[in-house]
């Protein structure tokens, strides 16, 4: 694990309208398989990717939103959502899926994966990364 790098995936697109959201998820899962230190950020229209109650049956597109709830099982538990992006869209944390992970160092306690952060906080987090990938 000593050569694990800090990978940040920045998601800025709404789901379904373009392929970016789905492609990002694919790459994130591949990165996790290589045991890297993975973080995800959802900013701008990317926050829509995490909306609850997505139902694509009538549009004939695969609903990939349940995949986000599996990220905890891949040790991906740093999911940053920009506060300013939520507010601009009239959304709150309640509009998003409740994503959790189990902490093996704390008797497998279930903990929240989503952290709502300000733009300034997110800028700091981006600075700490080794690799940044943008979708």
Partner 1 sequence: MSTLHTVNKSSYERDSLEACVRLAAKGGSVLLIEDGVYSAMSGGDKASVIENAKADLNFYVLGPDMKARGISEDRLIDGVKVVDYKGFVELTVENDKVSAWL
Q: How many residues bind partner 1 (CB under 8 A)?
A: 26
The whole-angstrom separation of Cα 51 and Cα 65 is 8
Q: Is 42 in the site for partner 1 (CB under 8 A)?
A: no
Distance of closest approach, residue 103 Cβ to partner 1, in angstroms? 28
Distance of closest approach, residue 47 Cβ to partner 1, in angstroms? 9
Distance of closest approach, residue 87 Cβ to partner 1, in angstroms? 8
Helix, strand or coil for residue 112?
strand
Q: Is 15 in the site for partner 1 (CB under 8 A)?
A: yes
Least Cα distance to 47 among 106, 132, 119 occurs for 119
Q: Which of residues 50-89 bind partner 1 (CB under 8 A)?
A: 51-59, 61, 63, 65, 88-89
Long-range Cβ pairs for the range 54-63 (8 Å, 24+): 54/15, 56/16, 59/16, 61/16, 62/22
If the CB atoms of residues 89 and 115 are measured against partner 1, the closer one turns out to be 89
Q: Is 48 in the site for partner 1 (CB under 8 A)?
A: yes
Least Cα distance to 18 among 39, 45, 43 occurs for 45
If the CB atoms of residues 5 and 98 are measured against partner 1, the closer one turns out to be 98
The whole-angstrom separation of Cα 2 and Cα 133 is 21
- Chain residues that interact with partner 1, rule: CB under 8 A: 13-18, 44-45, 48, 51-59, 61, 63, 65, 88-91, 95
């Amino acid at each position: 694990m000593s050569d694990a790098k800090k990978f940040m995936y920045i998601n800025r697109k709404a789901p379904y309208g373009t392929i970016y959201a789905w492609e990002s998820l694919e790459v994130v899962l591949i990165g996790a398989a290589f045991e890297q230190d993975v973080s995800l950020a959802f900013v701008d229209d990317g926050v829509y990717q995490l909306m609850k109650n997505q139902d694509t049956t009538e549009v004939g597109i695969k609903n990939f939103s349940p995949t986000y709830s599996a990220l905890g099982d891949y040790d991906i538990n740093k999911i940053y959502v920009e506060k300013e992006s939520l507010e601009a869209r009239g959304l709150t944390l309640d509009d998003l899926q409740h994503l959790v992970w189990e902490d093996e160092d704390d008797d497998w306690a279930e903990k929240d994966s989503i952290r709502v952060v300000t733009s300034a906080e997110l800028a700091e987090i981006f600075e700490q990364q080794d690799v940044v990938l943008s979708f």
